[in-house]
A and B are shown apart, each in its own frame.
Chain A
Amino acid sequence: MAKITLSKLRHSYYPNPKGPEDFALRDIDLDWRDGGAYALLGPSGCGKSTLLNIISGLLMPTEGRILFDDKDVTAHSPVERNIAQVFQFPVIYDTMTVYDNLAFPLRNRQMDEVMVKSRVHEIAEMLEVDDMLSKRAAGLSPDNKQKISMGRGLVRKDVNVVMFDEPLTVIDPHLKWKLRSKLKELHQKVRATMIYVTHDQTEALTFADQVVVMQDGDIVQIGTPVELFERPTHTFVGHFIGSPGMNLLPCEIRGGGAYFNDARIALEGPLISGGRGKNQVGIRPEFVSFGKKGLEARVKKVADVGRHYVVEAIIGDTSINAIVEQDAPEQGEKVHLNFAQSHTRVYRDGWIATQLPEAGR
């Protein structure tokens, strides 16, 4: 397994790119440590698949370098890079048995049959497919086929990185959950460097130690799941992660304070000075609560999502979501909203514009 470094990567699908809009990847600098679990998260068209193809060697970047353990592999072919990939749809040989499918990548490397046997059994046991080793792959259910695909990706110990490209797309939700847990468990056991590409926040956050959030060819934030949830540094991250995403309220900045609808909003810390732009107060629904005092609002909609309620309240023409575990108000009710100060921030042109109190000291 290897440490992976992406240095000043830029990529354009055009022969003579001009402005930044011609680039699918704009300026990517990353360091991924050996044995980590990483996710690339973003909507369709954000550049995550381009980045994956560059790492795997299927695509030559317009600019920049890729290093495995500090060794430049930019010009290396996919085979030379020694990586394993698991795709959206299961890639297995239907006519072969499960055993032969799992053994295939090892036999390709002329591994001794005794070793092959022990490794196949080890992986099959981890994936809980050891009871189907002698079955032909053709008869398996879609989720078992994808499990075997994952097994083929994980069976070799000598790969530099295992990459997963939306591997759970074809899996039913209730099985998704099981496979996701399985993958996480496998990572904890094999400690391979793994990169997981997805548009699904739940998959990214549950799988990865560190998530790279991408938008329009740029990285907007890199952080642990907790960091991305607790303190998004960009409104896109606030919006994209969390269901519903972060509330954004138009605000005015006066005398070092933020005002929404002429009410002063208490913030996590001091505003970063300088710069003009569109200011918004950002607060996640999880940190909005109801009280006797606070911003006056009217409840537009209440959804019982089972383990909590999602309440949509309206102030003027601004919609604010709140998540509460119990005592949800009724539709049409007049309520008072409170924002947890430590989770209330100002974003200027999308980027965070408040500092943590500690940072100001």
Chain B
Amino acid sequence: MTIELRNLTKMVDGNTHIKATNLVLEAGHFNVLLGATGAGKTSLIKLMAGLDRPASGQIFMDGVDVTRLSTQKRNISLVHQFFVNYAHMSVFDNIASPLKVAGMAKSEIEGRVEEAADILQLRSMLHRRPGELSGGQQQRTALARAIAKESNAVFLDEPLANLDYKLREELRDQLPELFAGRGAVVVYATSEPEEALLLGGVTGLMDDGSVTQFGPTSEIYHHPQDIVSAQVFSNPPINVAKIEIKGSKASMDETISWQLSGDAASLSDGRYTVAIRPNHVLPFKKPGNLVDLTGRVQITELSGSESSAHFLVGQNSWVSLASGVHPYQVGEVHSFYMDPAHCFYFSPDGKRVAQGAMANG
């Protein structure tokens, strides 16, 4: 199964919510939509699910134009952030409901419900009502319904957002296996970069109603094609600074400069933006031609295994994220080092024009 979007747009009260979008989503891997709240993930899902009509453009499922088809006729499943189950029905009936609506034989319904319940470890709870279940079990019930239905497409709209942290981790680990080999196109919306990386597959980065970049998850993480994509796919936020390039030298704040290498060395003179993820700005020296960013520490965070510091260099606020414990004092002047080999360079219009030789992590 594939879903193809051609020049799809959506308008609400004269405002563009989805700008002309072209995408091909396939079965066999997760299709992640990553972006902040309001970026357009849910809007796009609603269009694909047939819950909203586009202003223009078309949607194809396996080459068939379904733009005018109702949700029912598209044979899709939708799992929301909020647990949507029928409170008056048992877990069994909740999972079985779309199958009953489809007029399936009772024995087949039982078989499918039990199979889905087994996969999601709900077998012992089939007779209970959703109200008697924990949040994780309720969301598993919603997922079981999506699995039992054997739809053409499954839309998971931040399905783990309201679950406990650890539960989220466990379910996220199982999800790709749950849908593997089922032939459905799986679309997963999230606002967490790390979740996209863990789910793998392909990712579409979304910002302000547009898909800014689309491709294999790990590849687009390591090769953002523009500054917006780099920012959407970085948490903590990627460090961004204005630089001037002259000869094969970059300078920042007139006091900090470094020699450009790799394809960055051939950039023509002018103004650019440089970006580097916080895990490549470190409080200690590693081998390489490092750039010294000495600054005053403003905020520190220690998460047990990682230490982060926000510090000011000139007018620019920087973030460093290092594994291990680094005791910083707020207000102290501390040296940090960035390795230009991990830098991305963007032209004034935001397009990536070069990246350091090792900007792959």
Contact = CB atoms under 8 A, between A and B. Distances in A.
A185 B167 CA distance: 30
Contacts of A289: none
A240 B200 contact: no
A205 B304 contact: yes
Interface string A2-33: 00000000000000000000000000000000
B104 interface: no
A199 B168 CA distance: 11
Given A174-B36, A174-B235, A325-B323, A304 B299 contact: no
Contacts of A112: none
Interface string A166-202: 0000001111010011001100100000000001111
Nearest to B304: A229
A206 B303 contact: yes
B361 A200 contact: no
Interface stretch (B94-102, B108-116, B189-197): B189-197
Contacts of B269: none
Contacts of B325: 226
B169 interface: yes
Contact of A206 (B298, B302, B361): B302
Nearest to A227: B304
Given A202-B303, A228-B304, A306-B194, A172 B37 contact: yes
Contacts of A307: 277, 279, 321, 361
Contacts, number: 95
B84 interface: no
Contacts of A306: 193-194, 197, 221, 277, 279, 361
B166 interface: yes
A117 interface: no
B303 A243 contact: no
A217 interface: no
B348 to A, nearest CB: 24
A225 interface: yes
User: DSSP class of B's interface residues: helix, strand, loop or mixed?
Assistant: mixed
Contacts of A322: none
Contact of A225 (B198, B200, B304, B361): B304
With a 10 A CB-CB cut-off, give which of B166, B198, B310 has the most chain A CB atoms: B166
B15 interface: no
B303 A44 contact: no
Interface in A272-314: 284, 286, 303-308, 310
A147 to B, nearest CB: 16
Interface string A33-66: 0000000000111000000000000000000000
Contacts of B192: 173
A304 to B, nearest CB: 5
A243 B198 CA distance: 11
A56 B301 CA distance: 27
Interface residues of A, number: 42
Band of interface residues on B: 35 or more
Nearest to A199: B164
B330 A188 contact: yes
Interface string B349-361: 0000000000001
A326 B301 contact: no
Nearest to B169: A243
A116 B124 CA distance: 59
Interface string B296-310: 001111111100001
Given A172-B37, A177-B235, A226 B302 contact: yes
A325 B282 CA distance: 14
A172 B191 contact: yes
Contacts of B236: 177
Interface in B252-279: 277, 279
B135 interface: yes
Nearest to B302: A225
Contacts of A242: 304-305
Contacts of B284: none
14 contacts: A43-B166, A45-B134, A172-B36, A175-B36, A180-B301, A188-B330, A225-B302, A225-B304, A229-B304, A242-B305, A303-B198, A303-B200, A304-B197, A307-B321
Interface of B: 36-37, 134-135, 164-167, 169, 191-194, 197-198, 200, 218, 221, 235-237, 277, 279, 298-305, 310, 321, 323, 325, 330, 361
